[in-house]
Structure 1
Amino acid sequence: MSPEAPPPFLGHDGAITLAAALVVAALTAGLAPLAATLAVLRTARATGTAPPAPPARILVLGHRLEGGAPSSIFVARLARAAELARAAPDARLLLLGGQTSPDAPAEAEVGRDWLAARGIAPGRIGVETRSRHTLENLANHRAAHGPAAGEALVTSRLHMHRALRMARGLGLSPAPVAAEEAFRLDLPGLLTEGFMVHWYVTGRTMARLLRRRAWLARIG
């Protein structure tokens, strides 16, 4: 039998909620995505570089590869995860990220090799290689491991607010850990993340109001 095909990247519900997010943005004269953008900015500035207690598991969100190698954004996440792993030698690492470009390796596998080359024992590193974006990263992790205490979530500062909202929507409660030492303003990235959060909030609100169980199962 051929392997089961993955669900569409966007999907029918994703297209509907994207259209709804655009309508809400227009009806609010941009105030709804602006509010989301300010929330992204607050989280980006406030997130620390270490969890409050040594984690039992370190989750690392992937990032699109560049020529089959980790991007500078992914390297920053991996370097932070390596630092946490050395400080918490009993912690397991779990890299989340599948194949997001044709003929490219999975992000998680490339990240595992990067960490192993820098002295992190491969036996400590797990990989999730089926996901193509943040929501799938976290949903696949939850399906495989369930909610667990003592998890740290490593990602970029601008990405953190969206990742945390999605994680908490799925019933996860990781401690946020920023990849970068300090926040640096990236206006295009900030505006993009603000809209992505606005889209997620719009979709989740619609799913709850319409009682769409299939949508809620996907987005939390």
Structure 2
Amino acid sequence: MTSPAMRGPEDREFALRASDADREHVAELLGRAFAEGRLSTDEHSERLEAAYAAKTMGELRPLVADLPVVFAPPTASSAAAVLAGTSVSDAAMRYGGEPVVAVFGEAKRTGRWLVRSGLNARALFGSVELDLTEAVLEQREITITANAIFGEVIIRVPDGVILHDEGSAVFGSRKLPSLSGTVFGPETPVVHVRGIALFGNVEGRGPRRKWFRSR
């Protein structure tokens, strides 16, 4: 048996434990391949299930080994990130942040909370709602990776915030329109929404309106 000290850098790298962001990265690559017709429905379903069950980087790598992509997850080295055409800072921005996950259930983030420069939301046969109306944005522009697989991700933003759709839909829908009256300027907050809607729905909504009864 080869001792850890005798293993090469690549062996040690792929023996690392996989994070939620790593699994999300592979899931997104599989979704793109499915959308391009490189994987059948059954193949995509099997690999997606394996991706979310993976515990190490070495278990994730074979899932995309026969696809025209570069396996450079966010925990990879800076050299791997460059090979993927992404700088380390870009990778951290895209995949950083605490994940919000709903599996056969519901998850919500509401009230006053800090939204970091990157946020991951995953709805698998469930529903995720991200309410940004009272949230504090870490930066003027943030990126949300929203993957809705047989589920839905709802992103609620206050007036004056621009939603920019950068994701894809496969047998699903994405509705991220700009709110009426929103004007782009140098100080306008922008939310970039990436990810995939696979038999699911990713939707942007405005703030909840309060209605008062007159007495």
TM range (shorter): under 0.3
More helix by share: 1
Instruction: Output the TM-score relative to the length of structure 1.
Output: 0.26
Structure of larger gyration radius:
2
